[in-house]
Structure 1
Amino acid sequence: MSMIPTGGIKEIIRVLPPKDSYYPFRLQALQKALDNDPNSPVIPFLMKVVHAQESAFQALKSEKATFNFQEKEPFFVMDEAMLQCFQQTAITFCEALKARIETKNSSDYSEILKAVNALSTAIIDKEKTKQYFENIITLDLEAIPAHQRLFLLASMQVTLHFAATNLKVDEQYLLEAHDLCPCCKMPAISSVLDNSDGGLRYLYCSFCETKWHVVRSTCTECTSNKSLFQTTMEALDSPMSAEVCGECNTYLKFLDRTKTLIADPFIEDLLTLTITIKLTDKDFHTFGLNPYFV
């Protein structure tokens, strides 16, 4: 049976990999956040991180890095080629981040600079890099030193994001599972609703930035639709809310981008920590993951 949704689109494309880098758009979202909060101690540093990610992404593009894919989920093969790409990406990312930190006010980032320098040395070791790689893809994040976690996850995000831009998925492909990304089997950062998708809800991968379709009004964790509700914090004036399930006591952030041109799932997640704290205090938990906030 062909699935013909309402809203003017002829069919559901279930897997939508990114076509190019999203880091320039993330920088726009960060700049908007900084304009709204000029005294933020965090946003300027995150902008340096995202600039470094864009440098690493463009380096992969210029080097024409290649990956191995398979026809069934997960589409990415986490093999030696992916590991080598991750290692090179981490090296490039660290160099780019150091260059941005050292340009001015480097004393403000002295401890961060130490951590980046230490990682630059560690990542040269193939076995150490392999351990980091395995820790990330198995989400054993506690095994990664806390002071290096952000930089390693940012590097993995670039690696998988670039890999996804090289992936072609049959538009008729039927998803085998919906809880994790069909490309890399990482969790979603949030659901998203975009004008270009005809009102369909997609989950948004926290690493490769692929979108995959999940029907609306359904819990993304237990698939129940009995006790699902949305919660917002009106004072935040944000397009981000949370879909909360009373059946399994989980929630996932929900980003409505139909009324705003600049809204990034990762940045809006950080800007709506009030929602996260509110739900955590009420004993709800999430399987969503934000690499910029670990």
Structure 2
Amino acid sequence: MTQRTLDPEQIQALDPSAIPRIRLPERAAHFSTRAARLRRLADHNPIGGYVRLMAALVDAQQHALEHYSAPMPSREDIANAQRHSMPILPALSGERDPQWRSVLYRLADRVEAAGAVTPALANVLDTLRAMDEAQLEAQADAILAQRYTEIAPATAPFIMAALQVVWTDLASCIDMRDVPYVDAPGVCPVCGSPPVASIVRIGGAYQGYRYTQCGLCGTEAHVVRVKCTNCDSTKGIAYQGIDGGNPALKAESCDECHTYRKIGYLEKDMDFEPLADDLASLTLDLLMSDAGYRRASPNPLLWPEVPGDQ
């Protein structure tokens, strides 16, 4: 594993207001693009079987999104969020469309119909279907709040996938001008969830700018480069990669809070997708753990067994 500490980049003489603040998810291809990337990354991958399973689940998400429409926030709710600098669609509000459970069952059915159901997967799907409303809602609450000791890791990716459909639907339909500036650093301005990874984009107004991708609603928020996306520090930022691995993928570590998140560079790999590339690079996670860093937040499709494993 190589390590290099970067000097802060020269600040460009541009009006900050000219930088696009957020990128809302592209409804027509948000999940299908991710699924395609997962399938490509599965080849010769130590967890290739799991990555392919998650590709099937993400494909099911795209199909579910095409047939789902969540209730939108009222103008009063939007104004209140703006007034208090709070996320416009807060995941931790305790209120969510109960139809998310129907989405969950559709995802399970579609993954099962895709074939290659192992006994272990069949057991997970049976467990999901056997859970009552209260159990499912409790698991959703724990997952969104990242209360690891209450989360069942085997079923969590499926529950999270259903929640992602709901919030991606909402995020893809809101007016970008309604999204507030939030006070809490690092959280998604749309739903308040933590990012899964970040991406340095290319082309047009996004050229060279870094965006963190929300693990729940898929919204991307601009964050200046060489800055910790967990604690906002600009000190002790370093970038680690794997010799011979994808040069577009690095782990951005912070010596202030001893956490890391992965970052990808589209100029080096046009197909980089934050959640997919994060999930398929478990070897880098193991190396970062050995180096004494912990993940700032889990991948939405792979949950730790115990809190210390995140």
Pairwise TM-score range, normalised by the shorter structure? 0.7 to 0.9
Identity across the alignment (%)? 22
Query: Partner residue of 1:111?
Result: 120
Q: Provide the C-alpha distance between the structure 1 equivalents of 2:72 and 2:101, rounded to a whole number of angstroms.
A: 14
TM-score by length of 2: 0.81
Instruction: Give the secondary structure class of the aligned counterpart of 2:49.
Output: coil
Select the residue among 88, 94, 97 that pairs with 2:102.
Answer: 88
- Contact persistence 2:36–2:55 (CA under 8 A): no
* Alignment gaps of 5+ in structure 1: none
- Contact persistence 1:192–1:257 (CA under 8 A): yes
Select the residue among 199, 202, 205 that pairs with 1:192.
Answer: 199
Query: Partner residue of 1:138?
Result: 145
* Alignment gaps of 5+ in structure 2: 1-10, 304-310
Kindly state the Cα deviation for residue 6 of structure 1 after the two structures are TM-superposed.
5.0
Q: Relative CO higher for 1 or 2, CA cutoff 8 Å, sep ≥ 6? A: 2
Code of the residue aligned with 1:92 in structure 2: it is R
Code of the residue aligned with 1:215 in structure 2: it is V
Q: Provide the C-alpha distance between the structure 1 equivalents of 2:135 and 2:233, rounded to a whole number of angstroms.
A: 42
User: Structure 1 residues 174, 67: closer, same or farther in 2, change over 3 A?
Assistant: closer
Kindly state the Cα deviation for residue 280 of structure 1 after the two structures are TM-superposed.
0.8
- Contact persistence 1:181–1:205 (CA under 8 A): yes
Tell me which stretches of 4 or more aligned residues in structure 1 moved more than 4 Å: 4-10, 35-39, 77-81
Q: Provide the C-alpha distance between the structure 1 equivalents of 2:47 and 2:195, rounded to a whole number of angstroms.
A: 30
Query: Partner residue of 2:244?
Result: 235
1:1-294 superposed matches below 5 A: 11-20=18-27, 21-35=29-43, 40-60=48-68, 64-68=69-73, 70-71=78-79, 72=81, 73-78=86-91, 82-101=96-115, 105-106=116-117, 109-122=118-131, 125-170=132-177, 174-196=181-203, 197-294=206-303
Instruction: Give the secondary structure class of the aligned counterpart of 1:135.
Output: helix
TM-score by length of 1: 0.85
Code of the residue aligned with 1:66 in structure 2: it is P
Code of the residue aligned with 2:296 in structure 1: it is F
Code of the residue aligned with 2:150 in structure 1: it is A
Code of the residue aligned with 1:67 in structure 2: it is M
User: Structure 1 residues 81, 247: closer, same or farther in 2, change over 3 A?
Assistant: closer
Q: Provide the C-alpha distance between the structure 1 equivalents of 2:185 and 2:24, rounded to a whole number of angstroms.
A: 15
